[in-house]
Structure 1
Amino acid sequence: MNSARDPRIAVVGAGLGGLALAGVLQRHGRSVTVLEREPSAGARPQGGTLDIHAGTGQLALRAAGLLDRFRTLARPEGQEWRLLDPASGAALPFTGPAHDDDSPEIDRGQLRGLLLESLAADTVRWSCAVTGAAPLGDGTWRLHLGDGTTEDFDLVVGADGAWSRIRPALSDATPTYTGVTFVEAGFDDCDLRHPALARMVGNGSLLAKSDGRALSAQRNSNGHIRAYIAFRGPQDWNLVADVDLGDQEAVRTHLLETFDGWDERLLYLLRHNDSAFVNRPLFVLPAPHTWEHVPGITLLGDAAHLMPPVGLGANLAMLDGADLAHALITESGIDDAVQAYEGIMLPRSIKAAHDCAGALNHIVPPTSVSLG
């Protein structure tokens, strides 16, 4: 195969960034293979709602030819934010996140489905785990697969998230715990089953915060509300507190103790969830996270710049994918394309990592910070 004419491109990971890359490439007639360890698109829940920013995520969707379809699924009303006082539940002045005014919400699963539907049927190879990548000495790479086989590619793109199997080929950086844990909870058919909560959350999101603690809730589609119970503490907080994460009532009791004194309307988020509590400690990559360019391999999204989940990650991942695709389409060769992409993506991610760290401190204030 002549790699200059028809390069073999492997995207490892079928998340939003990898799918955006594949979508833009295919729109321009380029071949691409996406390798995903999960058995299907619906193998696990895809998470909550995302605000897709005009200057990042929407640019990627436009490049993939999907912006109009996105607009039919998105919820502009979901941009509303409410800040409540933890002790009284009273509304406080709040301007919301500092991003584009045009940032409608969409469920992550809906967005992923939109990207998947745009691809040729055989683009994603499900149940295809990648365990590592090895250079072949000529700028190409060999992927080692979970079934013991190997495949060779002219370009390997690590789009496989926080615990990327491709990242070690470029960097020895590993994610570290932020000191903040989110415990997720879900509420179904809220307008009928949890009407007071639905009114409190409104059409968008709410936040209440105090030293080292925060409660947030966000409206998803189909009457679902997703809540995040956030606190600062050790990653193994449950072991320190002698709480079995599999014992829902024990988790609930501990969380109620942690948020003792908060308004009862807010504590509804801890008392009456429909779905089980899910423990989600937050990890980040060092900032700045950079690497020396290596021919035939690169990273995007969380594999390249894992940040706290404060509204930038999905947008940046999709923009990474679109930018890399654009470079591959316009540059004279793979190596020139990857260098052009990294020259844009790496400086952008450094600023974003700084902004996200500040946003996490704003959402879950360190105990030494006064909120006055």
Structure 2
Amino acid sequence: MLTIERITDRYPHLAQLVGSGSFFALGNHHVLITQRGAFDSCRVYLWLTLEETADLTVSTARDRILGDEKLFGTFDDSVKEIIAAAYEVDININNSTLDLRPLYTLPHGHSWNHHAGVTLVGDAAHLMLPNGEGVNSAMWDSLLLSRELVKAYTTSPSNIDVQTMLDPLLSQFEADIVTRAQKIGLKADFLLDKMFEDDAAYVFSTLFNVSSG
């Protein structure tokens, strides 16, 4: 991820291109996504389809991404300018570090053996790719878990300790979040497949047009 700070001042034509929300450029099994942020910033995300062992280093990333026809070399100049601008502002001016890392996910429906007194939430329970609802799911997990903790504490009879009351609640909580995360993960996979299809730009735009009626 890279950030273009003060994009309207620095690159007004790019600010107009990406708009006030999200912007997608899809093709060649790669994806560029931008999101407008606070203080007139623009976050830039690049998803590259590469072998995990691909020799792409921070020092060579910019030129390879922009020049290699197997990456973004055949994209429109305006899209490549977004990448170049993000690299210039975030790396050369702000001295930030370009994160080059593979993306992983847990199998949808992944579960674990229940152990009394401990549980999992968020990525530890159901790691998803960034196009999913990982953060939202983690917050929802935490809210539901807090309710179970309160329930165990407030309903525990004086002769039964809270941990004993909590254990079956945790077990059911885990089963519920696994089921919910599986549905969300399958939806994320559907969108991901559309984003990386051979004719992804057309397929994805058609999907949005149908969804918007």
TM-score (norm 2): 0.78
For 1:359 and 1:280, how far apart are their aligned partners in 2? 21
For 2:101 and 2:6, how far apart are their aligned partners in 1? 24
Instruction: Report the RMSD for the aligned CA atoms in angstroms.
Output: 1.9
Structure 1 residue 369: deviation in Å?
7.3
1:219 corresponds to which of 36, 47, 68: 36
Structure 1 residue 343: deviation in Å?
2.7
1:263 corresponds to which of 70, 73, 76: 76
Larger helix percent = 2
1:196 corresponds to which of 5, 10, 13: 13
**In the alignment, does 2:90 pair up with 1:275?**
yes
2:63 maps to amino acid: T
For 1:232 and 1:366, how far apart are their aligned partners in 2? 11
After superposition, the Cα gap between the structure-2 partners of 1:310 and 1:244, relative to the gap in structure 1 and judged at 3 Å, is closer
More RCO (CA 8 Å, sep 6+): 1
Structure 1 residue 367: deviation in Å?
4.5
Consecutive aligned runs of 4 or more in structure 1 exceeding 3 Å deviation: 366-372
Structure 1 residue 370: deviation in Å?
9.4
Paired position in structure 1 for 2:160: none
SS in 2 for 1:215: strand
**In the alignment, does 2:188 pair up with 1:338?**
no
For 1:261 and 1:283, how far apart are their aligned partners in 2? 27
5+ long unaligned stretches in structure 1: 1-183
SS in 2 for 1:232: coil
Q: Residues 1-372 of structure 1: matches in 2 within 5 Å?
A: 184-237=1-54, 239=55, 243-245=56-58, 247=59, 250-256=60-66, 257=68, 258-273=71-86, 274-276=89-91, 277-331=98-152, 332=156, 333-363=165-195, 365-367=196-198, 371=202
Q: Are the equivalent residues in 1 in contact too, given 2:27–2:201 (CA < 8 A)?
A: no
After superposition, the Cα gap between the structure-2 partners of 1:191 and 1:370, relative to the gap in structure 1 and judged at 3 Å, is closer
SS in 2 for 1:229: strand
For 1:278 and 1:197, how far apart are their aligned partners in 2? 23
Q: Are the equivalent residues in 1 in contact too, given 2:5–2:41 (CA < 8 A)?
A: yes
For 1:318 and 1:292, how far apart are their aligned partners in 2? 22
Paired position in structure 1 for 2:161: none
After superposition, the Cα gap between the structure-2 partners of 1:320 and 1:200, relative to the gap in structure 1 and judged at 3 Å, is same
Larger strand percent = 1
For 2:131 and 2:183, how far apart are their aligned partners in 1? 14
Structure 1 residue 371: deviation in Å?
4.7
Q: Are the equivalent residues in 1 in contact too, given 2:36–2:43 (CA < 8 A)?
A: yes
After superposition, the Cα gap between the structure-2 partners of 1:342 and 1:295, relative to the gap in structure 1 and judged at 3 Å, is same
Paired position in structure 1 for 2:206: none
After superposition, the Cα gap between the structure-2 partners of 1:354 and 1:295, relative to the gap in structure 1 and judged at 3 Å, is same
TM-score (norm 1): 0.46
2:19 maps to amino acid: G
Q: Are the equivalent residues in 2 in contact too, given 1:324–1:337 (CA < 8 A)?
A: no
For 1:368 and 1:214, how far apart are their aligned partners in 2? 12
SS in 2 for 1:350: helix
Structure 1 residue 280: deviation in Å?
3.2
C-alpha deviations, 1:227-284, integer Å up to 9, x for none?
11222111222x2xxx432x1xx21111012212211111112222211332132110
2:112 maps to amino acid: W
Give the count of matched residue pairs: 181
Structure 1 residue 354: deviation in Å?
1.3
1:362 maps to amino acid: K
Q: Are the equivalent residues in 2 in contact too, given 1:288–1:350 (CA < 8 A)?
A: yes
C-alpha deviations, 1:87-139, integer Å up to 9, x for none?
xxxxxxxxxxxxxxxxxxxxxxxxxxxxxxxxxxxxxxxxxxxxxxxxxxxxx
Q: Are the equivalent residues in 1 in contact too, given 2:24–2:32 (CA < 8 A)?
A: yes
SS in 1 for 2:103: strand
SS in 2 for 1:208: strand
